[in-house]
Structure 1
Amino acid sequence: MTSILLLVVLLAAVGSVAILIRPQRASTFEFYLAGRRVGVVTNACAICGDYFSAASFLGVAAAVYASGLDGMWYATGFAAGFVPVLLFIAAPLRRFGEFSIPDFLGRRLESNSVRLTSVAIVQLIILAYLVPQAVASGIIWELFIGQGVGGLSAYATGVLVSTAAIMLMVALGGMRGTTWTQAVQFLMLLAIFVWLAIIVVASGFNYPDALRELSSRPLANPVESGGTWRLEEVTNRLHPESPAYFGEPGGQYSQLGQFALILSLALGTAGLPHIMNRYFTSPTGTAARMTTVWVVGLAGLFYTLAVLLGTAARSVIRDVSAELPWLAELTTEGVLRVPEYALLVLGQVFGGRAGLGLIAVGALVAVLSTIAGLLLASAASWGHDIYERYINLHATQNQALWAGRAAVAVVAALSAGLALAVRPESLTGQFPSIVATMVTWAFALAGSALTPVFILAIWWRRTTGAGAVAGMVTGAVTAVTMCAAGVLMGDTPYAAVLMTPTVVSAPCAAVATVAVSLASRPPQDMDRIWVRMHGTAADRRAVRIARLTVAGIGRRSREGR
């Protein structure tokens, strides 16, 4: 009962913040962009709250727990993802100043086909990212609450309650309410990570000693066979004739697999709609770039703690499993059957039910924060890019807002339905962390279909609308096909590479974009577009003055005739 009360209080607090600071005016500009008045630090914290999803809070530690050093590649890729954003995208994207990714690409390339294609791609990415968040919420509820409501299982109840709660928050609060709740949620996540790290280290945990001890024996994980669980040694992907060890590479990926994973995560960040849309809320291009600098620093700290705690969980839980009877239902010979339980169990080992409750709240906050950003991005692409431009050209602000809110409800319901079809226990033998792996698929799709087109549209003047459509379709089809083939191949050496397809699909998308662009005509007014994206404020002011001067001379000439 105490656990349920704690979660109810959390959901009520998050909803109250969103409602209290929601925009007072019924305006799409306020609902989607918060009036472009979000400060650097606030936006950085909100982006972190948006980005550090269940894959970050539960998934990275779970991947480290299950596969050792190879799990660290998730932390590396997630943290490195903002470097391309900082160097190539943040400032030009904000200077161009639209509502969403489809809006930016449609206006930059002056093409309705680009806008419609990118809306479809954005919705596919959002759905791929939403499902693992809903899965994580079910996992959290299942362990923390342990019981369902209205005849539903605990897992199904967690999925439905969290999705419904955050859907309501986004519909009421818009970007302003979501921004502040995400910023507060991130600070809560970071505080929980710091608390757990302090209490673990204070108990005597030593990272170098633990790593050395874990690496002294072959890595083994639970596998279900015939209704019973047993430990099975993990094969080294680099040296198939040898077992894998916790502190050595090869526990999950070959050399190509490691590179493919990091590339998928690094390129995927720049194509995530819920992250890129946040840059449109910055007041200036400089503010967008400084926001990214803050995010890189905060991400480095966050993922360092995640790796530390994943290692601590592998070391500590096995040592105490014989002393704590409740662990018998969750472990096989001291190893967790569901790696996503690692931080939750670690919290209970050191803090009892209160510690478990604190970690569960943090994990649920991570889920809710990311779901909020994804639903808001979905609302922007449907409400602004489709409804206002193609369905109801004369829509009032109120009608456009309700179209966005309806999109939130439909996408949330669809993601919850897909999450209910997933059972984490049935997939843990194939993936180091089902949540982190499913999020990686979304990153791969974003990095294949959107990032190459994004970068070319920003930095190559010759990019055309037809080229962008060809690139997005090529990248998306290649990525989805390779991921599907990887899942069907099961636990084989090539499956891991196929499920991180960006190393193949992103170059295919770039080549298709360039080839078709060279055979088609670019937008006519490229000088104006280029100055808008890359010029300084002084440059843009000079262009406006020159345009006004030319217009004035032309008008006087006509009057003279």
Structure 2
Amino acid sequence: MLNMWAILMVILLVVVTIGISMYTRNFNSSTANFYLAGRKIGFMTNSTAICGDYFSAASFLGVAGAVYASGVDGMWYAIGFGAAFVPVVLFLASPLRKFGEYTIPDFLFARFGKSHKARVIGVVMVQLICIFYLAPQMVGAGTTWDVLVGVGFLGMTPYQTGVVATVVVMMFYVALGGMKGTTLNQMIQFWVLFTAMFLVFALVLINGVGNYASQNQPLTNASTVTVAKLMEGEEGKRVYDKAKATMSPEAFATEVDAVVQKGDPNATVHVVVPQVNKLHPDRTMVMQEPGHRYDWLNQFSMVLALVLGTMGLPHIMNRYYTNPSGKVARLTTLWVLAFVAFFYIMSSVVGLGGRRFLPELAGADPTTAALTVDGVLLKSDQILPVLGKLLFGEFGLGYVAAGAFAAMFSTVGGLLIASAASWGHDIYENYVNPNAPEWKKVMVGKIAVVAMSLFSLLVGLGIPAIGLDTAYPSLIAMMVTWAFAVSGGAFVPMLLSSIWWKKTTRKGAIAGMIVGGGGSIFFILMNILKETGVFAAGSFGATLGSLAFPSIFIVPLSFLTIYLVSITDKNQMPVYVNNIWARIHGSDELSERIRKQMKEADQRSA
């Protein structure tokens, strides 16, 4: 049965989004306007737009889902995401804006003596990060549609329908509205998702989640396995035996025994089993103790990836170029920190609330009951919309659904703009057709938006096909952490070294990006192959794949690479390095004057 509140709210959100894009379409007469909104975005508008950009499906759906599925382990996501803007405000926001370029690849080109190789490698890294970050937004779109509507159209599943609908809307409004329209939309979308989260947060608190959170509750999760897998191993240690000891007799008879009796080893069953304590194998896994998903090394590495990764996200860093000055960029980030801190506190409380209320309330609602096994959600990322419905009825589900789509629209919009800026500005304007008129440059940017949208569609549809949705219990949060790990490895050591160490050279920066970005992607792929069963347990590949978050090794290795290559490459610093340094660290007025002087000198020499 369709939720009419949800349908109406999402339609209203789409209409407003497209209306704003239509209103701002005439503002995109130049690339500076299309990619950077004319560098005239104030701190309050930009802070809410950055939060809209940052609070993706992973934040809105994934963090609450991770806390629901993993307890304290899931809270690491909230801590990492929440702390991430502290190093941004301390080390990057103001210097990047003062330097005054369009994109991170632009920064690389200008910082390292007009290095074309550095810019092209930067473009490659931007596209890889955008792909890694777009993937979980597509999963969020399909998951939300599944809960919101529950039916597919044109022969597609509900998941596929949600992915396609989101991509079509985003492709239209970003290409039409550019950065100006995207900024205004992100500001509105932020308030929709923020108030939706607050609604569920307030309802959970009113109903007393604190009592549950203070208890030492065992951690159990639902999963889907084949009958053959269910019966593997010695009696007493089989999944069958664990499920029988954990589930209620009624649920076990319906979900498990009824299927087993049919004798088909390939048939699938839904089970609820206790979770393994990876830090303390001799103890029962409980909500209030870490160790569900990660050992100590992966836990530390995950938080490091989240805290550092934000500094390298192209769609976040590009937003600082839209501020009018470095001072405004710093003020913007301080407001972002306040919004971020409160948002992730709410997300954590909602995740705990799911454990408290779902077993009691799910059985009374047939739609919700179909998503659960013995009172436990099969897909933890659905906890926020499910709680919205259970605690506030159809309106609650509708408002949360609108918030979820607002989160996805906002983040996907920022990613598409960032990706288009790299293709349109960094590649087309500088290498393919430098003398193109402004209208043609803007048109290429819009074409890049469409192309990246279609590619993200393929990524979103392909994720269930390779089994990622069953390999990871909190898939959306996990996939975003991968994006953070890639951005943290590829860009953060390079940006910090380039901004704060004058002796960083072009070769050092390039080597650091390749080692950091390439190394992160390698270990992530190894982990995917391990979790999806490609590598046998105990094999060399499985050992490499045991490191889910490689930042703890890759980031220091990237810094070391930059240092070693740079000190052996002393003659490769840019000729105007002192001017560049003054441009990065001087006052806003001095930085802008030097930038204009260097641009005029380039034009005269050309």
TM-score band, normalised by the shorter chain? over 0.9
2:442 corresponds in structure 1 to 401
**Quick check: 1:364 aligned with 2:405?**
yes
**Quick check: 1:193 aligned with 2:178?**
no
**Quick check: 1:282 aligned with 2:333?**
no
1:13 to partner: Cα distance = 1.4
**Quick check: 1:177 aligned with 2:181?**
yes
The count of corresponding residues between Structure 1 and Structure 2 is: 543
1: distance between equivalents of 2:153 and 2:594? Answer: 62
2: distance between equivalents of 1:125 and 1:449? Answer: 9
**Deviation per CA, 1:274-317, whole angstroms, max 9, x where unpaired?**
00000000111011111111111110000000001111011100
Are the aligned partners of 1:37 and 1:281 in contact in 2 as well (CA < 8 Å)?
Answer: yes
Give the root-mean-square deviation of aligned CA atoms.
Answer: 2.1
**Deviation per CA, 1:334-380, whole angstroms, max 9, x where unpaired?**
00000011011101101222211111110011001000000000111
**Quick check: 1:515 aligned with 2:518?**
no
**Quick check: 1:98 aligned with 2:147?**
no
SS at match of 1:281: coil
- Output aligned runs, 1:123-202, within 5 Å: 123-202=127-206
Are the aligned partners of 2:516 and 2:555 in contact in 1 as well (CA < 8 Å)?
Answer: yes
The 3 A distance-change label for structure 1 pair 443 and 544 is closer
1: distance between equivalents of 2:187 and 2:555? Answer: 32
SS at match of 1:197: helix
**Quick check: 1:504 aligned with 2:508?**
no
1:524 corresponds in structure 2 to 575
- Output aligned runs, 1:21-40, within 5 Å: 21-24=24-27, 26-40=29-43
2: distance between equivalents of 1:500 and 1:109? Answer: 30
The 3 A distance-change label for structure 1 pair 53 and 424 is farther
The 3 A distance-change label for structure 1 pair 476 and 538 is closer
2: distance between equivalents of 1:391 and 1:541? Answer: 28
- Output aligned runs, 1:221-236, within 5 Å: 221-226=221-226, 227-236=268-277
**Structure 1, 501-510 or 20-29: larger mean CA deviation:** 20-29
2:116 corresponds in structure 1 to 112
**Quick check: 1:440 aligned with 2:481?**
yes
SS at match of 2:214: helix
1: distance between equivalents of 2:299 and 2:26? Answer: 45
**Quick check: 1:418 aligned with 2:459?**
yes
**Deviation per CA, 1:209-254, whole angstroms, max 9, x where unpaired?**
11134x23x2111121220011111111111222210011112222
**Structure 1, 492-501 or 334-343: larger mean CA deviation:** 492-501
**Structure 1, 533-542 or 375-384: larger mean CA deviation:** 533-542
- Output aligned runs, 1:196-345, within 5 Å: 196-202=200-206, 204-207=207-210, 209-213=211-215, 215-216=216-217, 218-226=218-226, 227-345=268-386
2:238 corresponds in structure 1 to none
SS at match of 2:224: strand
The 3 A distance-change label for structure 1 pair 239 and 41 is same
Are the aligned partners of 1:252 and 1:432 in contact in 2 as well (CA < 8 Å)?
Answer: no
1: distance between equivalents of 2:347 and 2:593? Answer: 49
Are the aligned partners of 1:463 and 1:517 in contact in 2 as well (CA < 8 Å)?
Answer: yes
SS at match of 1:253: coil
1:25 to partner: Cα distance = 5.0
1:512 to partner: Cα distance = 1.5
2: distance between equivalents of 1:460 and 1:116? Answer: 22
**Deviation per CA, 1:472-515, whole angstroms, max 9, x where unpaired?**
11111211111111122228897886221111111121122222
**Quick check: 1:71 aligned with 2:74?**
yes
2: distance between equivalents of 1:323 and 1:106? Answer: 60
2: distance between equivalents of 1:490 and 1:127? Answer: 20
1:201 to partner: Cα distance = 2.5
For 2:154, the aligned partner's letter is G
1:81 corresponds in structure 2 to 84
2:258 corresponds in structure 1 to none
SS at match of 1:223: strand
2:498 corresponds in structure 1 to 457
**Quick check: 1:48 aligned with 2:51?**
yes
**Deviation per CA, 1:160-207, whole angstroms, max 9, x where unpaired?**
1101101110101011111111011111111111122222323x2232
SS at match of 1:179: helix
Are the aligned partners of 2:326 and 2:588 in contact in 1 as well (CA < 8 Å)?
Answer: no
The 3 A distance-change label for structure 1 pair 543 and 284 is closer
2:585 to 527, 534, 538: 534
SS at match of 2:132: helix
SS at match of 1:322: helix
1: distance between equivalents of 2:369 and 2:294? Answer: 30
1: distance between equivalents of 2:222 and 2:194? Answer: 30
1:121 corresponds in structure 2 to 125
2: distance between equivalents of 1:414 and 1:153? Answer: 19
2: distance between equivalents of 1:436 and 1:542? Answer: 43
Are the aligned partners of 2:298 and 2:548 in contact in 1 as well (CA < 8 Å)?
Answer: no
1:524 to partner: Cα distance = 1.1
2: distance between equivalents of 1:56 and 1:424? Answer: 24
The 3 A distance-change label for structure 1 pair 364 and 25 is closer
1:268 to partner: Cα distance = 0.5
1:5 to partner: Cα distance = 4.2
For 1:479, the aligned partner's letter is S
Are the aligned partners of 1:34 and 1:281 in contact in 2 as well (CA < 8 Å)?
Answer: yes
2: distance between equivalents of 1:15 and 1:225? Answer: 43
Are the aligned partners of 2:63 and 2:74 in contact in 1 as well (CA < 8 Å)?
Answer: yes
SS at match of 2:272: strand
For 1:35, the aligned partner's letter is G
Q: TM-score, normalised by structure 1?
A: 0.93
2: distance between equivalents of 1:399 and 1:489? Answer: 46
1:406 to partner: Cα distance = 0.9
SS at match of 2:222: strand
1: distance between equivalents of 2:462 and 2:176? Answer: 29
**Deviation per CA, 1:130-157, whole angstroms, max 9, x where unpaired?**
1110111011111111111211111111
Are the aligned partners of 2:9 and 2:399 in contact in 1 as well (CA < 8 Å)?
Answer: no
**Quick check: 1:353 aligned with 2:357?**
no
Are the aligned partners of 2:429 and 2:435 in contact in 1 as well (CA < 8 Å)?
Answer: yes
The 3 A distance-change label for structure 1 pair 160 and 205 is same
The 3 A distance-change label for structure 1 pair 277 and 429 is same
1: distance between equivalents of 2:86 and 2:464? Answer: 35
2: distance between equivalents of 1:181 and 1:509? Answer: 36
2: distance between equivalents of 1:314 and 1:427? Answer: 24
The 3 A distance-change label for structure 1 pair 311 and 320 is same
SS at match of 1:368: helix
1:18 to partner: Cα distance = 2.1
Are the aligned partners of 1:338 and 1:424 in contact in 2 as well (CA < 8 Å)?
Answer: no
Are the aligned partners of 2:583 and 2:592 in contact in 1 as well (CA < 8 Å)?
Answer: no
SS at match of 1:228: strand
SS at match of 2:273: strand
SS at match of 1:235: coil
Are the aligned partners of 2:28 and 2:178 in contact in 1 as well (CA < 8 Å)?
Answer: no
